[in-house]
Amino acid sequence: MLKDGAIWALGAMSGTSLDGVDAALLRTDGQRIAAFGRHGYRPYTGAERAVIRAALGCWPDDPGVAAAAEVVEAAHAALLSRFSDEAALIGFHGQTLAHDPQGRGTHQAGDGGVLAEVLGRPVVWDFRSADLRLGGQGAPLAPFFHFACARWIGATEPLAFLNLGGVGNLTWLDPRLPAPESPGACLAFDTGPANAPIDDLMAARGGGPRDEGGAIAATGRIDEAVIARFLEHPHFYRMPPKSLDRNAFHGLSAAVAGLSLADAAATLTAAAAAAVAAGAQHFPAPVARILVAGGGRHNATLMAMIAARLACKVDPVEAVGLDGDMLEAQAFAHLAVRVARGLPTSGPGTTGVAAAVGGGRISRPAAAPAA
C-alpha cells in the first residue's frame, strides 16, 4: 500500500527516436505535482541502437526481440539504479517496437519484473494493454500528466502541449475542469511523423544521428508536392483520438529519396510542421499558446515552421519552468502513482477508450520496501 499524500516516484522513458533513456524523479500524489526532483539521461550506444532498430515492427517471439529487450532492460537498470533509493515507486514504459491498435495491439520491449528485482523497488509497467483491451488506442499516455502540469503552472484557460519525439503528439486541455478524466478536459492524439524521418534520413546519408538545430533543413528547399501528397494520408482525416506507429508514414522517406540532403531535410521538417497544423484543426476551442517538449523543440527550423502555420504562440516548455527533455519520464512517474492508487490513466478524449481506465501492472521485488 502507498502512503497517503505525495511520494517520490521515478519515471523512465525511451522514445521512438531511439536516442536513449530518460529518468526523472517526481513528487506527486497522482493528481497534483508537489515537486520535481533529480533527473538523468543514458544514451544508447551505436551498437545498442542497431539491436533495437533491427527489432522495430516486431512482436513478441519474433527474431531479435529478446536481444532488444535485454538492451532496453540493461540500459534502464544502469540509469535507474542511480536514483532508485530515492523513489518509493518506479514507472517503466519500455521501448515501443510496434504499435497497431486496430490490429495486433502494442508491443513495448522490456520486462518490469526484471527491473523490480534488479532495483529492489516496485515497478509499474505495461501501461497500454488495458486501454487497448477496452477499445482504446493505447496512446498517447502523457495527457493526464500534462493536465497536472497545466495546474502546476497556474493555467486558467485552454492550452496545448506538443511533444516532438520520433512521432509528434498534441494534448489540448482545459485546466478549469476538476480532473483530467472529466468530460471535455483533455483531447489528445498523434499528429504524424516528427523527428523519426529526419533522423533516419541523416543516418542513411551519413549526416550523423540528427539535423542538429535544423541547420541543414534551413538551407534546403521544400518540395511542396511531397507535402501535398503527405497531407492526403488517411490519418489526417480521422477524428481524434488517434495514434500512430513510428513507421506509419514509411512512404514519406521514399518520397524524398531523390532530393538533395538539404532539400530532403527541409521537406521532412515541413511535413512534421504541417502535421501539427493539421492536428490543431481538431482543437475543441482555440488556444493562445502551445508548449513544446521533446527533442524537436531544439530544432529551430522545425519550431519556426510550426509557428508560421499556427495563429498562436509556440514556446518550448522551459518558458513556463518545465523541462522538455524530461517531461515524458516525469509523466510515467506520475502515471505510476496513479496506477498504484487506482486512478485512471487514460480516457475517451485521450485514447478513445470507452470510459476512463487505469492501465499498468505492478511488479514487486521479492522483498519490496514499504512505500
Beta carbons within 8 Å of 184's beta carbon, 6+ residues apart = 174, 177, 284, 349
pLDDT at 247 over 80: no
Q: What is the pLDDT of residue 246?
A: 73
Confidence of residue 180 (pLDDT cuts 50, 70, 90): very high
pLDDT at 303 over 60: yes
Q: Is 135 left (phi over 0), alpha (psi -120 to 50) or beta?
A: left
- Phi, psi dihedrals of residue 14, rounded to the nearest 5°: -125, 110
Q: Delineate the domains of the chain, giving CATH numbers in brackets.
A: 7-137+333-363 (3.30.420.40), 154-320 (3.30.420.40)
Structure pTM? 0.93
Is there a contact between 120 and 84 (Cβ–Cβ < 8 Å)?
A: yes
Beta carbons within 8 Å of 164's beta carbon, 6+ residues apart = 194, 195, 272, 292, 293, 294, 295, 296, 297, 299, 302
- Mind listing the pLDDT tens digit for each residue in 254-286? 999 999 999 999 999 999 999 999 999 999 999
- Mind listing the pLDDT tens digit for each residue in 78-126? 999 999 899 999 999 999 999 888 788 899 999 999 999 999 999 999 9
Give CA separation, 149 vs 111, 283, 327, 335, in Å.
Answer: 29, 19, 9, 13
Give me the DSSP letters along 35-64. EEEEEEEEEPPHHHHHHHHHTTT--TTSTT
Give the residue carrying C-alpha cell 502546476.
152
Q: What is the pLDDT of residue 111?
A: 97
- Mind listing the pLDDT tens digit for each residue in 328-370? 999 999 999 999 999 999 999 999 999 999 989 999 998 655 5
How many angstroms separate the CA atoms of 149 and 132, rounded? 25
